[in-house]
Structure 1
Amino acid sequence: MGGLLEKYQDSRGGWLLSPPSGWNKFEGEPGAYDQKWQDLVSPAENIKVSSTPVGSDIDSVLKLGGGIPVNELGEKLAKKRGAELVSSSARLTEGIVFYTFEFFIPSSSAHQILQLSVSKGKIWSVDANAVGKERWAKRKDMYENVLNSFMPKLS
């Protein structure tokens, strides 16, 4: 269960995502996330969307990071998490630059994919989490599809 994705549109927040079908959906928790989806069987497996306002002069995640390269930003983010940076990348879709980072957190054997973008005066964060090598192997491709489906604007 949870391998199929379904389209979700948040009209109030003005964004699109295709989360796993059948996962529990939770409304926003101020300061933590705007929306969260959690696996029914393994609650540690979840996907969260959050947004935070940024200044009008900020149009890129790298501007927030002081203009450093994406891999250096990934290393800084990894250090804050007590994690190892597995990979970092950037892509341009519909005029929005998305930065994606994969982390491994040794203390909990957790894996995370974090995607950051700036649009509509906000920094958008989408993260997907799983614990354990076997669970991560089963979820990684699906999580990448979920994160690639995120668009901080309505079509």
Structure 2
Amino acid sequence: MDRSAGFVGSGQLVRSGRSSGQGTAVCMSAERPAVPSRRDVLLGIAGTIGVALGASQPALAAEGLAGKVDPFQDAQKGFKILRPSGWNEFSASENFDVKWQDIINPVEQITVITTPVTKGKTVADIGTTEEVAAKLAKSRSMEIVGSSSKESQGIITYIVEMKSKSVHQITVLAMNKSKLYTVNITCPENRWSKREKLFKGIAESFIPRL
């Protein structure tokens, strides 16, 4: 795919939240220092993963994603996303910045592409959600299933869902810091019912900033 085409390339966000709590003073004997239990250690690791993406473990569990995804961030390109656990990862090429592909079903894949854009531009500058969805669907000879938009900290994000007889796709589009981010999620249509929750959660998790 020509990366200059940005959002019209072929191929294809769990809302983030923060948890907070107050510490409690505990008096312990100097002779017998407290040793963290295995459960405490595991909970600490789980909490660290949640903070890394700005999403709590309870939120992941509520979406049915706990244990199925891992946090990923690219400091150079300036984005973070949940990635499927156990999938093959491919580093940057002329067609994508990063790609994940299922080992058993290679049609199931996720790519993140960044394209330079004029400073200060947002996805609204390339059209409304409906207009962009129509362009994507036409370029891929697909049918629009649905489209939506959201705004967080001044960054507008479009999410477009499409399908054909053989393939189901979700595309996420956002602009920030002179980059157009395109996340393409692809799945065989006959496996969509099994993957819908996972892939929609991953699409919702994408954040075009660190």
TM-score, length of structure 2 as denominator length: 0.66
Aligned partner of 1:29 in structure 2 is: 93
Taking the TM superposition and a 5 Å limit, the aligned residue runs for 1:48-87 are: 48-58=111-121, 60-65=122-127, 69-87=128-146
Indicate if the aligned counterparts of 2:173 and 2:183 stay in contact, CA closer than 8 A: yes
Indicate if the aligned counterparts of 2:120 and 2:177 stay in contact, CA closer than 8 A: no
Q: Distance in 1 between matches of 2:103 and 2:198?
A: 16
Structure 2 counterpart SS, 1:142: helix
Runs ≥4 in structure 1, deviation > 3 angstroms? none
More helix by share: 2
Count of residues in Structure 1 that have an aligned counterpart in Structure 2: 145
Indicate if the aligned counterparts of 2:164 and 2:189 stay in contact, CA closer than 8 A: no
1:44 lines up with 2:107 in the alignment: yes
Q: Distance in 2 between matches of 1:72 and 1:148?
A: 21
| Larger deviation, residues 82-91 vs 3-12 | 3-12
More strand by share: 1
Structure 1 counterpart SS, 2:97: strand
Deviation of residue 4 (structure 1)? 0.6
Taking the TM superposition and a 5 Å limit, the aligned residue runs for 1:3-152 are: 4-30=68-94, 32-58=95-121, 60-65=122-127, 69-106=128-165, 109-133=166-190, 135-152=191-208
Q: Cα RMSD (Å) of the superposition?
A: 1.5
Rg comparison, structure with higher value? 2
TM-score, length of structure 1 as denominator length: 0.88
Could you list the runs of 5+ residues in structure 2 that have no partner in the other structure?
A: 1-64
Identity %: 37
Could you list the runs of 5+ residues in structure 1 that have no partner in the other structure?
A: none
